[in-house]
Amino acid sequence: YMKYNVTRDIIEDLEDKGIVKAIYPSEELHVGNLEKDMSVVDHVYEVGYKDGLELVSEVKKFLGGKVNEKKGR
């Protein structure tokens, strides 16, 4: 967990400097690396999909509008 905490600190520092845009789930996700319960997997997918849609304009703004807007991407 110490490497995780150090990495998280580095990411937060880079985000404060405007170098990276960190994206986190909108809710705490209780899922393991080898999750087999498809209802849990589906929930995590839906949260990520919803969060992604809500962050599109924010990410485009961070990237300076240089986003490839091809269909399906």
Say what the pTM is. Answer: 0.69
How confident is the model over 11-21, as a mean pLDDT?
A: 94
How confident is the model over 11-15, as a mean pLDDT?
A: 95
pLDDT of residue 70: 57
In angstroms, the CA 5 to CA 9 distance is: 6
State the pLDDT confidence band at 67, using cuts at 50, 70 and 90.
low
Question: At a CB cut-off of 8 Å and minimum separation 6, what does 70 contact?
Answer: none
